[in-house]
Amino acid sequence: MWTRYQLEDFRIVGHFLGVILILLGAAMGIPLFVALINREWQPACDFLLSMGITMSVGSAMLLLKLKTPSLNGRQAILLTGLTWVFISFFGAIPFYLSGHHASFINAFFESVSAYTTTGVSILQDPHHLAYSHNIWRLMSMIIGAQGIIAFAMTVGIFSRSSGAGSLYKAEGKSDSVLPNIIATVRFSIIITCAFVLLGTFVLTIAGFFQGMSVSRSLYHAFYLSGSAFSTGGFTPMANSVIYYHSVIFESTLMILMISGAMNFSLFFTMWGGNFKEFFKNIEVKTLAIWAIIVVVIMGTALAHDSALGGSVFTLMRRGVFTVISSISGTGFQTLYTAQFAIAAGPAVMFAIVLAMGFGGSTGSTSGGIKALRIALIVKSVIADVKRALSPDRAAVRVKYHHMGVRVLDSQTASSAMTVFLLYVITYLIGTMIYVSLGYAPMNAAFDSIAATSNAGMSSGVISADMPMLMKVVFILQMWGGRLEFIALLALFAGLFVTFRPQALKEKFKEMRESHE
Amino acid sequence: MNRVLKASLTIVLALLVCLPTVAVPSAYAHLELPKEEQEKLYPKFPEHAVGTTDAAKKLEAQKPKGLVIPEVSREVTSNVFEVSLSELEGASARYDEKLVQFEAEAVGDIIEGPKGYKWVLFDDGTGSISCLVPDDYTRYITSLGRYGIQGSVLRVTGVYKVSDDDQAGEMDVRVYKAELLDSGEAIQEPLEPTRLYAGLGFVLLALLLLAFYKTVSKKAGS
């Protein structure tokens, strides 16, 4: 039975949304500070105005409930879905005010791309973008990677709420590393800081020896490290990682991308001294096998079927980097878009599509179907085959190793299959829409999968002047992929059931009868 | 210990965000001088940067070991394609291994390349591409485009490669001729006072609403 949301539900959710908007407004203080330090006066005004608008709306929404309420599961789903809408909307205000987006919908697209860590950019004139605006792009990615709700939890919002667990899961997170969800989120932020600092240190030195000044290399190093570990994919320069022409940059970024695509529970387990888990874990094994398969396909395709020249080392360097960037969902490129869309050949594009669609680990910052689900579906198929070949009364148990030995039950298998199907259906719907708008099927499929799996690569379909319908569909794909569909579908279903005309008629009838 | 670590990490991250952006403006202080004063600072562009096939012959004589400068003959120089960078970004086979020419702004940073060359990113508003520029020419790129700065604008001629085997398959232009069209300047973005006043107004409104909420919620609590 579909239950409608009541006014009280919207008041409670609105109150918490207000808190989140106030936090978002406060976060805009960082790029405001950067703008003031750099004498970027106009960008400083942009951030002041954005901060003011966001916090004003947030403060007004606080008044919907005077006492901090607790959240139930249904309200948690509504809050998660609406949070991502509101954050993307208000986060787009600075982008729009920067003047580097032709329209607000373009700025909104950029904002959604940042928060969902997709990393596909339709920014105009990126080389003249202010440092403060660029820092806001990076911050949006990092906040989105950790989870907006998760960030709010670390500062004590929702701590008294019974809906904390539902909120955590509704944002696409699965494993809770520590008994306390808030401690889990704080641990993941500490891990992020550690990797970003390490990457910044290495890349700053590399950048300096590449000819950049100390300050510029520090800026690029920090930006790239944050973007790589968040598997976001934004870069300060338009031509991605090609700009640096450096094996050291590529190697360091590959390590960061792989780390960002790993389950945070794995880091915690290894932190506790259990290194064997890394080799036994089903996700790590699945990712490794899949990456090797895709590298072999890509290497063969590059060597035989493409117009790209170079030695075997060159091809493998480009191929391995592209595969890792695709699987982790980062979207960094060491080939220009046209090089792999035109010169490299269809087999290379197909390999990248496989990598993007597959995705990284659950409990990480990457997108896609996720390695664990693929592994569980395969295990489930094996279990079904075993059952078919076993005597009638035989009990077939399939085990797998994921932070300990677990038995595959029908609910887990069913859940994995459901999300897998939702991803595939979304890939197909997006592809059909873009093909109907005149794009080549391979390119349409490539960009549709890139958006849904939050990978961020583009074969040239995504651009600042693409039709409005495409922008809206891409935005929905990016959101759906980031939240793994359930939260978004629940939001739409809940709102439809609440506001459909029949429901509204019944509501008015009830109100009239109660007056009489 | 945990708190100290977290606080330290927060401070270091905040520094990382702000520190790299502090030093940059001073590097371009010369751009705030009047144009005539700026020109006194820059040496003239070398003669051989603008010219005929003699330019290519001079470069040929100077070529670093192990790096091949493309052969440039009188016949080839007459077949220079005027292109936009969006065409080059499109990996156009039509221009592969051909001489191309474009006018674009140097942006970003000058990055070490193979011996005798540097990588410079050019942007003409339609697209951008990394070019291998001989060391001699990079001395005359006096400003690099970024926020608030118009970079040096050059007319660049070079050989375009969709996949440069010597550069690990990168798409690039190997420059053999470059003319300085504009040395670059500081661009002061006009400040819009309406945004400043509106921003202050909204922030004040937010603080008032917050204060109101605190007062009312305390009363409701009691």
Identify the CA nearest to A169 among candidates A187, A144, A149, A189. A149
Pick the residue of A136, A239, A298 with the most B CBs within 10 A to test the interface with B by mutation. Answer: A239
pLDDT value of residue B65: 41
Q: How far apart are CA A269 and CA A276, in angstroms?
A: 9
Structurally, how many domains does chain A consist of? 2
Same domain flag for A493 and A438: no
Q: Mean pLDDT over residues A32-55, rounded?
A: 95
Selecting from B23, B129, B146 the residue whose C-beta is nearest the C-beta of A127 gives B146
Question: Chain A contacts of B90, Cβ < 8 Å?
Answer: 338, 342
Q: Cβ distance A149 to A83 under 8 Å?
A: yes
Mean pLDDT of chain A: 87
List the single range of A191-195, A206-210, A337-341 with lowest mean pLDDT: A337-341
How far from each other are the two terminal CA atoms of chain B, in whole angstroms? 38
> For A335-485, where are the alpha helices, taking DSSP H only?
337-338, 346-358, 371-389, 410-436, 441-452, 468-483
Same domain flag for A258 and A355: yes
Identify the CA nearest to A324 among candidates A355, A279, A282. A355
Same domain flag for A266 and A349: yes
Same domain flag for A72 and A201: no
Question: Across the interface, do B23 and A215 touch by the CB < 8 Å criterion?
Answer: yes
Most confident of the following: A143-152, A163-172, B45-54: A143-152
- Which phi and psi (to 5°) does residue B20 adopt? -65, -20
Single-letter code of the amino acid located at B197 = Y
Q: Mean pLDDT over residues A5-26, rounded?
A: 92
Q: How far apart are CA A465 and CA A122, in angstroms?
A: 9
Same domain flag for A433 and A495: no
Pick the residue of A45, A61, A140 with the most B CBs within 10 A to test the interface with B by mutation. Answer: A45
Q: Does A52 touch chain B (CB under 8 A)?
A: yes
Where is the domain boundary, A461, A478, A499? Answer: A461
- Which phi and psi (to 5°) does residue A116 adopt? -85, 5
Q: Mean pLDDT over residues A144-148, rounded?
A: 86
Q: Does A205 touch chain B (CB under 8 A)?
A: no
Same domain flag for A115 and A236: no
- Give the tokens for residue A311: 């030695």
Same domain flag for A99 and A165: yes
Q: How far apart are CA B178 and CA B156, in angstroms?
A: 5
Q: How far apart are CA A450 and CA A353, in angstroms?
A: 8
- Domain span including residue A245: 179-461
pLDDT value of residue B70: 45
pTM of the model: 0.88
Q: Mean pLDDT over residues A20-40, rounded?
A: 94
Residue appearing with tokens 């809770």 = A176
3 state SS of A449: helix
Identify the CA nearest to A481 among candidates A454, A509, A501. A454
- Give the tokens for residue A105: 């919908």
Question: Across the interface, do B130 and A336 touch by the CB < 8 Å criterion?
Answer: no
Same domain flag for A246 and A301: yes
Question: Across the interface, do A243 and B146 touch by the CB < 8 Å criterion?
Answer: no
Q: Does A213 touch chain B (CB under 8 A)?
A: yes
Pick the residue of A57, A124, A205, A245 with the most B CBs within 10 A to test the interface with B by mutation. Answer: A245
Question: Chain B contacts of A339, Cβ < 8 Å?
Answer: 91, 162-163, 171
Question: Across the interface, do A213 and B107 touch by the CB < 8 Å criterion?
Answer: no
Q: Is the pLDDT of residue A226 over 90?
A: yes
Chain A residue with the nearest C-alpha to that of B27: A213
Mean pLDDT of chain B: 77
pLDDT value of residue B120: 95
Q: How far apart are CA A237 and CA A216, in angstroms?
A: 12
pLDDT value of residue A256: 96
pLDDT value of residue B40: 60
More confident residue, A271 or B103: B103
Using a pLDDT cut of 70, give the percent of chain A over it: 91
Using a pLDDT cut of 90, give the percent of chain A over it: 54
Q: How far apart are CA A410 and CA A458, in angstroms?
A: 37
Residue appearing with tokens 């069913």 = A414
Question: Chain A contacts of B168, Cβ < 8 Å?
Answer: 310, 314, 317-318
Same domain flag for A146 and A264: no
3 state SS of A415: helix
pLDDT value of residue B35: 64
Same domain flag for A205 and A136: no
Selecting from A49, A67, A314 the residue whose C-beta is nearest the C-beta of B221 gives A67
Give the count of Cβ contacts less than 8 A between chain A and B.
217
Question: Across the interface, do A49 and B198 touch by the CB < 8 Å criterion?
Answer: yes
β-bridge mates for residue A296, sequence order? none
Q: Which helix (H) or strand (E) holds B164?
A: strand B153-164
Same domain flag for A416 and A510: no
Q: Cβ distance B198 to A50 under 8 Å?
A: no
* Domain architecture of chain B: domains with CATH: 28-186 (2.40.50.140)
Question: Across the interface, do B163 and A343 touch by the CB < 8 Å criterion?
Answer: yes
Tens digits of residue pLDDT in A308-347: 656 777 777 888 999 999 999 999 999 888 887 776 678 8
Q: Does A251 touch chain B (CB under 8 A)?
A: no
Tens digits of residue pLDDT in B75-85: 445 578 899 99
Where is the domain boundary, A436, A461, A486? Answer: A461
Angle, CA of B214, A136 and A229, to the nearest 5°: 110
List the single range of A222-226, A248-252, A281-285 with lowest mean pLDDT: A281-285
Using a pLDDT cut of 70, give the percent of chain B over it: 66
Q: Cβ distance A71 to A5 under 8 Å?
A: no
More confident residue, A479 or A503: A479
Same domain flag for A90 and A233: no
Question: Across the interface, do B112 and A210 touch by the CB < 8 Å criterion?
Answer: yes
Q: Characterize the bridge pairing of strands B185-186 and B149-150.
A: antiparallel
Where is the domain boundary, A443, A461, A479? Answer: A461
ipTM: 0.88
